[in-house]
Amino acid sequence: MNSKKMLGALLLSLAASIWGGMFVVVKVVVETIPPIELVWLRYLIALVCLMLFAVIFHIKWRFNQRDLGIIILIGIIGNAISIVTQETGTWLSNAQTGAVITSATPTFMIIFAWWLLGEKLDAVKIISVTMATLGVIWIVGVHFSGTHVLLGIFSLIIAALTWALMSVLVKKVSGTYNSLQITIMSTFVAFVCLTPFVLSHMDVITRAHYLDPKIGLSLLYLGIVSTALGFVMWNKGLQLMNAASSGLFFLFQPVVGTLLGWLVLGETISWGFVFGTMMIIGSVWVSIRFAK
């Protein structure tokens, strides 16, 4: 593995680990601030942080008009739809379910990379997709009770699909921009899209107790660490590796999310949940071990 791929692997691993912890933070704060408003606040904080990064590193902007459509799609599909459904799903289920079901993202990325980028879809990739799908189905079966839980699981599956599509679309953006610029533009698109919904429920924003350490620190983590740093690292890692391989590093997300859900929130780990997780992790191992 050359130095660029090593750096890409490191950045993708760090981003996925950060997002694993994010599920626990979301589960804590989403009881006070609903998902759409929470994502909006998260992006507001992230944009301030990202623009400071751009000033500090003297980023020069050269906009390529032919990338406008892709940037808008990345913002709507990945930063808006995926994150809102992810936080909604975590709210309606639990941190473990959120971390594990969205870890099916790598297999969806393989399909989208084949469809949109022409990356070869071989037997190894098909087997890994099948294993991850069975793992998700097993988890769904284990938690197959209660209307809200079912809606949460559906939301999380949508989150995994849309994040996978967004990650592949990032590969289609021209080399005109660095990862910081892509993150700023896509986050701004999502922020604008969510603003009309938030303005109609401003009472939710104004009555939140931001001085409560649980709320304030959670928002700072989600905005600065999980969004600003996490998104930049993920987008940079995507630029350094092919789409199918990039998705494999989502493995760190369910591991961190499950462990923190157990340690911090006291969520139980059932055998069915463990089996589903092992199936998803096994799909990643098959992709790494037998890929040509």
**More confident site: 251 or 9:** 9
Segment 34-51 shows an average pLDDT of 95
Q: Note the pLDDT of residue 139.
A: 67
**φ/ψ bin of 59: left (φ > 0), alpha (ψ from -120 to 50), beta (otherwise):** beta
- pLDDT-derived band at 110, boundaries 50, 70, 90: confident
Q: Which residues of 220-239 are buried (b: 16+ CB within 10 A; e: fewer)?
A: ebbbbbbbbbbbbbbbbbbb
Mean confidence (pLDDT) of the chain: 84
pLDDT (tens digit, 9 = 90+) per residue, 72-88?
999 999 999 999 998 88
**pLDDT at residue 182 tops 80:** yes
Phi/psi for 173 (5° steps) reads -70, 140
**pLDDT at residue 49 tops 90:** yes
- For the chain, the domains span 3-290
pLDDT (tens digit, 9 = 90+) per residue, 152-165?
888 988 999 999 99
Q: Secondary structure of the chain in the HEC alphabet?
A: CCHHHHHHHHHHHHHHHHHHHHHHHHHHHCCCCCHHHHHHHHHHHHHHHHHHHHHHCCCCCCCCHHHHHHHHHHHHHHHHHHHHHHHHHHHHCCHHHHHHHHHHHHHHHHHHHHHHHCCCCCHHHHHHHHHHHHHHHHHHHHCCCCHHHHHHHHHHHHHHHHHHHHHHHHHHCCCCCCHHHHHHHHHHHHHHHHHHHHHCCHHHHHCCCCCCHHHHHHHHHHHHHHHHHHHHHHHHHHHHCCHHHHHHHHHHHHHHHHHHHHHHCCCCCCHHHHHHHHHHHHHHHHHHHHCC
Q: What's the rounded Cα separation, in Å, for the pair 188 and 170? A: 15
